[in-house]
Homo-oligomer: A and B are copies of this chain.
């Protein structure tokens, strides 16, 4: 049961077979607040792997599927069929299942980026979900309480008009050529499965989405430099982008998978006319805010400052007791459960949507185009 006594939502999963990282994360996220029960899965397109993976996590055999089409058809026909599905496949297998389940009237929770091509993204945004099926894109970093609080601070005018946005997401795990046996690495560096972007799709979109989520600024254009440093790699592993926002704010975005010594160093800094703020994902329970001419203040999740409702509603435990990545991910699941149950009016605007997914794809394609055009300023609407 959920902590509010509501019955659990019956959940299915596409992808996420044994050994897959992000499928596991989605399952934990679904469990933390007690809102979901995983009861069906098409965990792999390989039948034997699908069966073994399903058994490993305790699914009943008749609800272990080897294709998402079959799963969508059979589950939507069951009285106790799944109400929602998590799609945790590589990018090129987002569009098919998302379409299938939405058209079957089943709510969709989909990993990012939305798809592997912009056409797919736009097509997905254009379909008519059956029975009002809802969609959640798991830009999970937006679930951190202090990220929500940062967004509220900007909205409240505490920073004044925004001038400068610095966002970055350095990693180092692709410093060398990926071992062919590394599943995580191999599809992410393969244009057929990942799409036209490498680091930009995998982590650049997270950085971009975070900047957009917190500042609320709309993007005017990008000037990008995408590089593949590792010999033989077909997609970018380092991304340097200048951003122009509507209204005059300027930004820089750096994402890298070859920045030795970086694990998941997502960081955002926003400077307005009146104040600045800084937040890092690897120590997410703290955020700096500085009003011009005053000392820096260290806000803590669940700490001294009573956060606005949009930020505090997903604080689980007191300040100084750290919450992390899984809790932030779980917040998206939990608040999407509220939306599904019709309780979630206040949170709908906070949850990453299909529109955010389309914009993410536009950001990728505009950046790729700009980089090919020697950094020419390129509008997201031009691609």
Binding site for B on A (CB under 8 A): 1-7, 21, 24-25, 27-28, 31-34, 38, 55-59, 159, 163-164, 166, 168, 171-172, 175-176, 223, 225, 227, 229, 238, 240, 242, 244, 248, 250-252, 254, 256, 258-265, 269, 271-278, 281-285, 288-300, 303-305, 316-327, 374-375, 377
Contacts and interface: CB of A to CB of B under 8 A. Distances in A.
Given A1-B59, A281-B322, 17 more contacts: A3-B24, A3-B57, A5-B55, A21-B317, A159-B260, A164-B229, A172-B271, A223-B242, A225-B244, A240-B252, A260-B275, A261-B289, A263-B300, A265-B320, A282-B320, A283-B322, A293-B304
Contacts of A303: 263, 295
Given A172-B276, A259-B164, A264-B321, A326 B32 contact: yes
Contacts of A250: 225, 227, 238, 240
Contacts of A298: 295-298
B320 A322 contact: no
A324 B283 CA distance: 10
A238 B166 CA distance: 12
Nearest to A56: B5
A129 to B, nearest CB: 28
A320 B141 CA distance: 13
Q: How many chain copies?
A: 4
B377 A374 contact: yes
Given A58-B1, A292-B175, A275 B254 contact: no
B319 A58 contact: no
A78 to B, nearest CB: 19
A238 to B, nearest CB: 6
Nearest to A229: B163
B320 A264 contact: yes
A62 B264 CA distance: 48
A26 to B, nearest CB: 12
A314 to B, nearest CB: 13
19 contacts: A6-B58, A31-B31, A31-B33, A32-B326, A164-B238, A223-B223, A223-B225, A227-B250, A229-B273, A252-B252, A260-B271, A260-B274, A263-B319, A295-B299, A295-B300, A295-B303, A295-B305, A297-B298, A374-B377
**The 8 residue pairs across chains A and B that have the minimum distance between CB atoms:** A263-B320, A1-B58, A261-B290, A264-B320, A260-B276, A322-B324, A261-B276, A321-B325
Contacts of A269: 259
Contacts of A321: 263-264, 281-282, 324-325
Contact of A375 (B55, B58, B223): B223
B171 A262 contact: no
A291 B304 CA distance: 10
Given A278-B261, A292-B260, A323-B324, A28 B316 contact: yes
A297 B225 CA distance: 30
Nearest to A28: B32
Nearest to A317: B325
A288 to B, nearest CB: 7
A319 to B, nearest CB: 4
Contacts of A5: 55-58
A294 B227 CA distance: 25
